[in-house]
Amino acid sequence: MKRLWIYTMATLLLTLTACEQGVPQLGKNTVDDVVAAMTLNEKVTLLIGTGMAGFMGDSAVVGETQSLVPGAAGTTHPIPRLGIPAIVLADGPAGLRISPTREGTNDTYYCTAFPVATLLASTWNTDLVEHVGKAMGNEVLEYGVDVLLAPALNIHRNPLCGRNFEYYSEDPLLAGLMASAMTKGVQSNGVGVSLKHFAANNQETNRMGNDSRVSERALREIYLKGFEIAVKEANPWTVMSSYNKINGTYASESRTLLTDILRSTWNFEGVVMTDWFGGRNPADQVHAGNDLLMPGRAEQGKAIIAAIEDGTLSVEDVDVNVKRILNLILETPRFKGYAYSNKPNLEAHAQITRNSATEGMVLLENKANTLPLQSGIKTVAAYGITSYDFIAGGTGSGDVNEAYTVSLFEGLENAGYTIEKDVESLYENHIQAENEKNKPDESNPLAAFLPKNRPSEFVPTTAQLAQHASRSDVALITIGRNSGEFADRVLPGDFELTDVEQQLIKAVTQAFHKQGKKAIVILNIGGVIETASWKAIPDAILLAWQAGQESGNSVADVLTGKVNPSGRLPMTFPNSYWDVPSANNFPYEVLADQRRNLMGGDEASAKEVKNIDYTDYTEGIFVGYRYYETDRKLVSYPFGYGLSYSTFEYTNPTIKQVDKAFECTIDVKNIGTLSGKAVVQLYVAAPENKALAKPLRELRAFAKTSELQPGTSETITLRVNTDALASYDEHREAWVVDKGLYQFCIGQNAHDMVAQINISVN
């Protein structure tokens, strides 16, 4: 606190002295004048962040600016002489990540753990996501942060990517519109976002050195498309370049990516920053248009100056980047002197979390209307470790320091249910014993970032289960998964259920069925898991995702029917990992070892698949449902899938051409007995093109109805710009809309179409 005061006073004094001497001041003079007054050292200082405490932070002011908001990921360098303050950047996609406590005070600085991005995408509701973004951005503002390092919108190329929970979807339109909504919401507070990680960052294994070898077409149509949508629609203040290389060049060193595409083609006017410690050559980064190097190391400054001195980098390149950073600083609350409160309305935000989470939960199975729970159900037997230790969100920079997480059993108790006490104590004793064994290694500086060792699952004995079933009305079995940056997920035991989990589902369901009672599986996961082998066993499956700090209350709201589930999958759940189009081109050792065992190969053949230096995106544009539908591959749950407690009817599809767009309408009627929302998904099939293979159909627009009472209907209008029908033709280096007959289909999901109209494009 004292250091912060000294720093503030020193800054004020220097600024006053500078003003007296007539030195240009940011905000009072033009940016050009300020840049003209800067020494080369000052310019270079501005291009480099102030380091990261405990992680090679080696610049002079590291301590001072980092105490502005403890726990923030980084700050820029202040230059008091020119009236340039430091600005603060902090994660992340599920809410602001700062330290919840500070030295010398008992005050707390908790933030709201909102639902993870994958859940938000499952709402298919852009208004809702904007609303969440508004609340998230308010915490950014009120805790004195200037730029939120989110949203993250890399494509779910492979279900094993450890950060998929931070990302939205396997589809670029859904990802791009979700990121736009989040950006608009956050930035409506007068703070900025950083769209990340730009681009083709689809795995964690060797993330800082891996080369994503991807065709130009797949890049444009799949991996860049979402960024293009969000940049054009929502004007993000900043973009974060990714760690990886793309076709041999680090993203942060690629002028093609950061200047030609992002700026010249999409008109992005903001700042590009590196991911933390990303890239290798600072001079190349500056020339590429990567303005800010984060978190910043003194050697980077020396390398930039050396490059200027030996003529490999021009001062003009430096100036362009410096100006962009100054323009960013001018917009920030810190520059404007906003008096932040450190007291955002956490209660109101908890309510937003609870409501938004219910809307993104996906009902996967519901035999004989098991859900909503019938009124006679009073006592619940809750199985699975995660029923008692619910996972609010993933780990790493996508984590949030929230004050609490409502567990499933707490949520059920809040909703008036009684938890079967024998089951509860069985679990609590087991969890306590396991936690004793699994204490994290506090000496590892990354410990706070890594997933903690979770207690192992167990199956109660048949006699115990029979007794529980006789004392309770229904069984819930929660299956939990967690992951985060630095590591990808593994196949057995993570993507697939463990044998114990399989046995738990079977044994509990059998025991309850024997007594005429039902068993429901709750999936508390951040990414896709295998479901085909066991989904027929329980009576219902609710995919709750990692739903933020109100998780237990949100799940209870859906189980009781207070909220009718309207979530739809933003990705495909395949029948088997090996059906994933990138299954064999996803480098990680456990998979390789397992493949060796599966294939009976030797050490040498295992090495062949351990290609951790590069990843070939051989599937091209055929990612997710674009592959499964085109190749007619059966899946466990298709993209866009989700059940409701109600039924919806789709009638009267129309289409007309207006200006350079198509306008489709469809009537959606709730023909069930409970009120609820439906998602309208518009897929378009392009005419066949022998030279440029087209997916069977692609999502081109979507919308969510309002809450429809039984018997009522709503007309939904969806607009598709003609340009949005284009494919990227590598030979012509252009987007091309083929002439011919297009099928516009309304789907319940990517597989099941309910209405179709054809229209010609000439």
For residue 295, the SS3 value is coil
Within residues 6-25, the interface with ligand BGC by CB under 6 A covers: none
Q: What is the dihedral of CA 735, 741, 747, 752, to 10 degrees?
A: -110
CB of 651 to ligand BGC, least distance (A): 45
Which residue in 64, 221, 485, 619 binds ligand BGC (CB under 6 A)?
Answer: 485
Per-residue binding string, ligand BGC, 328-367, x by CB under 6 A, is ----------------------------------------
Q: Is the preceding omega at residue 368 within 30 degrees of 0, hence cis?
A: no
Q: Is residue 742 within 8 Å of residue 696, measured between CB atoms? A: no
DSSP category for residue 725: G
Closer of 72 and 716 to ligand BGC (Cβ): 72
Nearest CA to 200 out of 231, 172, 232, 230 is that of 172
Closer of 275 and 698 to ligand BGC (Cβ): 275
Which residue in 26, 44, 62, 73 binds ligand BGC (CB under 6 A)?
Answer: 73
Whether residue 275 lies in the annotated active site:
yes
Closer of 279 and 581 to ligand BGC (Cβ): 279
DSSP category for residue 221: I
CB of 446 to ligand BGC, least distance (A): 10
CA distance 116 to 547: 6
Closer of 448 and 693 to ligand BGC (Cβ): 448
Which residue in 138, 203, 386, 397 binds ligand BGC (CB under 6 A)?
Answer: 397
Cα first-last separation, the chain: 68
Query: Residue 359 has which token pair?
Result: 């809307």
CB of 280 to ligand BGC, least distance (A): 16
Which residue in 44, 149, 200, 258 binds ligand BGC (CB under 6 A)?
Answer: 149
CA distance 762 to 759: 10
Q: Phi and psi dihedrals of 500, rounded to 5? A: -65, -40
CA distance 562 to 297: 52
CB of 95 to ligand BGC, least distance (A): 13
Decide if residue 275 touches ligand BGC (CB under 6 A).
Answer: yes
CB of 163 to ligand BGC, least distance (A): 8
Q: Is residue 535 within 8 Å of residue 541, measured between CB atoms? A: yes
CB of 284 to ligand BGC, least distance (A): 20
CA distances, 194 to each of 76, 90, 263, 332, 752 (Å): 15, 10, 15, 13, 36
Nearest CA to 531 out of 501, 565, 553 is that of 501
Closer of 278 and 480 to ligand BGC (Cβ): 278
Query: Residue 27 has which token pair?
Result: 């905000």
CA distance 683 to 592: 36
CA 373 to chain centre: 31
**Relative orientation angle of helices 225-234 and 172-187, to the nearest 10 degrees:** 30
Closer of 196 and 595 to ligand BGC (Cβ): 196
CA 287 to chain centre: 29
DSSP category for residue 335: H
Query: Residue 285 has which token pair?
Result: 């980064």
Closer of 91 and 738 to ligand BGC (Cβ): 91
The site for ligand BGC, by CB under 6 A, has a size of: 8
CB of 101 to ligand BGC, least distance (A): 19
Amino acid symbol at 310: D
CB of 59 to ligand BGC, least distance (A): 17
Closer of 58 and 107 to ligand BGC (Cβ): 58
Closer of 43 and 245 to ligand BGC (Cβ): 245
Closer of 244 and 549 to ligand BGC (Cβ): 244
Q: Is residue 631 within 8 Å of residue 574, measured between CB atoms? A: no
Q: 719 has which bridge partners?
A: 663
Amino acid symbol at 241: S
Which residue in 143, 167, 237, 276 binds ligand BGC (CB under 6 A)?
Answer: 276
CB of 276 to ligand BGC, least distance (A): 4
Among residues 171, 211, 275, 284, which one is catalytic?
A: 275
CA distances, 597 to each of 158, 160, 487, 602, 605 (Å): 22, 19, 22, 8, 11
CB of 156 to ligand BGC, least distance (A): 16
Decide if residue 200 touches ligand BGC (CB under 6 A).
Answer: no
CA distance 684 to 612: 36
CA 196 to chain centre: 10
CA distances, 375 to each of 119, 184, 319, 414, 474 (Å): 28, 41, 68, 16, 12
Which residue in 43, 134, 156, 196 binds ligand BGC (CB under 6 A)?
Answer: 196
Decide if residue 91 touches ligand BGC (CB under 6 A).
Answer: yes
**Relative orientation angle of helices 40-47 and 298-309, to the nearest 10 degrees:** 130
CA distance 321 to 671: 57
What would you measure as the largest C-alpha separation in the chain, in angstroms? 87
Closer of 397 and 401 to ligand BGC (Cβ): 397
Residue 316: Cβ within 10 Å count:
7
Q: Interface with ligand BGC by CB under 6 A: which residues?
A: 73, 91, 149, 196, 275-276, 397, 485
Question: Which residues are the active-site residues?
Answer: 275
